[in-house]
A and B are shown apart, each in its own frame.
Chain A
Amino acid sequence: MAIEVRDVTKSFGTTPVLRDVSVDVESGSLTALLGPSGGGKSTLLRVIAGLERPDIGTVHISGVDATRLSPQRRDVGFVFQHYAAFKHLTVFRNVAFGLEIRKRPKDEIRERVMELLELVHLEKLADRYPSQLSGGQRQRMALARALAVEPKVLLLDEPFGALDAQVRKELRTWLRRLHDEVHVTTVFVTHDQEEAIEVADTIVVLADGEVKQVGSPAEVYDHPVDPFVMRFLGPVTEIGGDLVRPHDIEISASPLDGGTPATIARVVRLGFEVRVEVEVDGQDGREAWVQVTRELADRLGLAPGDTVTLRPTPGARRLALSAV
């Protein structure tokens, strides 16, 4: 294990922010810490980096007990949400910082920095100052800076949080590819479930300071342990007292065994997908919706006012709401 967090508890004043958190991160993996705002993701990442001390619990990095080590001695790369670029240093000097601190020879520093700048596609901007870079470029510079010292683990706090949707998408794919190339154990924080599913090999769902679930993207998406995780990882809807993914529902014009009758309220066409909003009988006005393909919607001729029957598909993951 590259990182082992054991029973970590952390409070700010009287507010508990992490409660008995244990997380294992496998060497060479790309792990996402996913959860709602204020759930304690940044705090956990900062505890791993040594920027916060846990009240109780231990942190091991590459088998060494790092709980009492200062960030200076932990060999972690940390990328801050707002980049924390050294404003008075050029891109080159920013990336060179860790190597200069380690008193590496000048030639070696130059070679390594240029290599990294090429990796993050900033080799042409080496002499610029951070204020002359775009957000995405600053982010990549921060990444190169963290990678320069060859950290044992790389920690990224909402690496793409402050960027617009288009750039986010690009950088996501780029991060995935970079990780395949560099292979450093990476943990990144996000509150965007799509980002976590797309990029990570393991997802840790953290909410209210507790680990709710750990697993591969498919596991947490398809087998959420509770309604909270299910809601957080993707779209859900409610039929017959169960929480179901809207794409896991069969819709039929004729009655089905074990089906629930409903009336179509609206049919919204979103390109390839069609979102059918229905009023389910006996659900006191709480609306549900079903996601179908355009082809199916056309074949069934779905229209507002139609009466239909809904039934979760046989393999669908269902969570009974009443149990909670």
Chain B
Amino acid sequence: MARYGLRTLAVVYLLFLLVLPVILIIWRTFAGGLAPFAEALTSPSALHAFQVTVVVAGWAVVANTVFGIGVSLLLTRHSFPGKRLLNAFIDLPMAVSPVVVGLALILVYGRFAPVGGLLESWGFQVIFSTPGMVIATVFVSMPLVVRALVPVLEELGDEQEQAAHTLGASRLQSFLRITLPGIRWALGYGVVLCLARSLGEYGAVAVVSGRLVDQTQTLTLFVEERFQNFDQPAAFAAATALALVAVLTLLLTKLLRPKD
């Protein structure tokens, strides 16, 4: 009896929090058929928002992949003072609200901040522009690749790498030929998670982008802005597009997740 109660509760919970909203969004999006959906998504603003999103998420994923591999190798293959601190620091972005991240970035890179002022004098604008949005996105999605790689690197151990060294391989060769194939699935998993997080980021990007329509507007910002301006078809269409991408990445992670 108690079991059925629990099941019902879980189903109702999921229904109202997840299933109903998603179904409603999709229903509203396609209520008028495919044509309005396509039209809403191909407006110049929507296309621009797409483009900004892809650029920002793309750079963020590249940065976090390189950084993630570097840091996980540092954490698993080297010992140095402050290692535990670094390890704890990696998770900080998970704990801090993205809005706080955005504000902190403005404090450092804003036009009237020391670092930001210096960069600006060299003609390099960070805040209210793509670099700032990339930095904000990098920050919020930082731990994902590292956390996917560390356990796998630990399990892999360093004996295979040492064996490669004794056989004449340089560090780079042993990384490319031995380590990378050993972590490829975990890396793929981390990268996909990182991509999903980057595409969906709202808070930090909202703060540092200045929400300039047709300039620094990402897809998530586009959804919000269209909704505020009573352009519901465009808002819902973009939201559905984001949701579809999310479902796709989710499927990808399921595929990439280690089978055992």
Contacts and interface: CB of A to CB of B under 8 A. Distances in A.
A146 B160 CA distance: 13
Contacts of A49: 166
Interface stretch (B122-130, B168-176, B198-206, B216-224): B168-176
Contact of A88 (B162, B169, B173, B182): B182
Contacts of B164: 86, 97, 101
A80 interface: yes
Interface in B132-182: 159-160, 162-170, 173, 177-178, 181-182
Interface stretch (A70-78, A243-251, A295-303): A70-78
B160 A72 contact: no
Contacts of B162: 51, 71, 78, 80, 84
Contact of A78 (B163, B170, B181, B182): B163
Contacts of B169: 72, 97, 101
Given A88-B181, A88-B182, A101-B173, A72 B163 contact: no
A124 interface: no
A72 B170 contact: yes
Contacts of B159: 80, 82, 84
Nearest to B159: A84
Contacts of B160: 84-87
A88 B156 CA distance: 12
A101 B182 contact: no
B181 A71 contact: no
A84 B166 CA distance: 12
A227 interface: no
Contacts of A148: 167
Interface string A63-97: 00000001110101110101011111000000001
A72 B182 contact: no
A97 B167 contact: yes
B173 A78 contact: no
A86 B178 CA distance: 7
Nearest to A100: B177
Contacts of A146: 166-167
Contacts of A86: 160, 163-164, 178
B166 A71 contact: yes
Interface in A137-173: 142, 145-146, 148-149
Interface size class of B (residues with CB under 8 A): 10 to 19
Contacts of B167: 97-98, 101, 145-146, 148-149
A88 B169 CA distance: 17
B182 A84 contact: no
A72 B177 CA distance: 15
Nearest to B166: A78
A306 B164 CA distance: 64
A78 B169 CA distance: 13
A70 B178 contact: no
Interface in A98-120: 98, 101-102
Interface string B178-220: 1001100000000000000000000000000000000000000
Given A82-B159, A101-B173, A51 B182 contact: no
Contacts of A78: 162-163, 166
B168 A98 contact: yes
B165 A84 contact: no
B182 A87 contact: yes
Interface string A3-46: 00000000000000000000000000000000000000000000
Interface in A282-312: none
B166 A76 contact: yes
17 contacts: A72-B169, A72-B170, A76-B166, A78-B166, A80-B163, A84-B159, A85-B160, A86-B160, A86-B164, A86-B178, A87-B160, A87-B182, A97-B164, A97-B169, A101-B164, A101-B168, A149-B167
Interface of A: 49-51, 70-72, 74, 76-78, 80, 82, 84-88, 97-98, 101-102, 142, 145-146, 148-149
Given A80-B159, A148-B167, 7 more contacts: A71-B166, A78-B162, A78-B166, A84-B163, A86-B164, A87-B182, A97-B177
Across the A-B interface, the 5 shortest Cβ-Cβ residue pairs: A98-B167, A84-B159, A84-B163, A78-B166, A71-B165
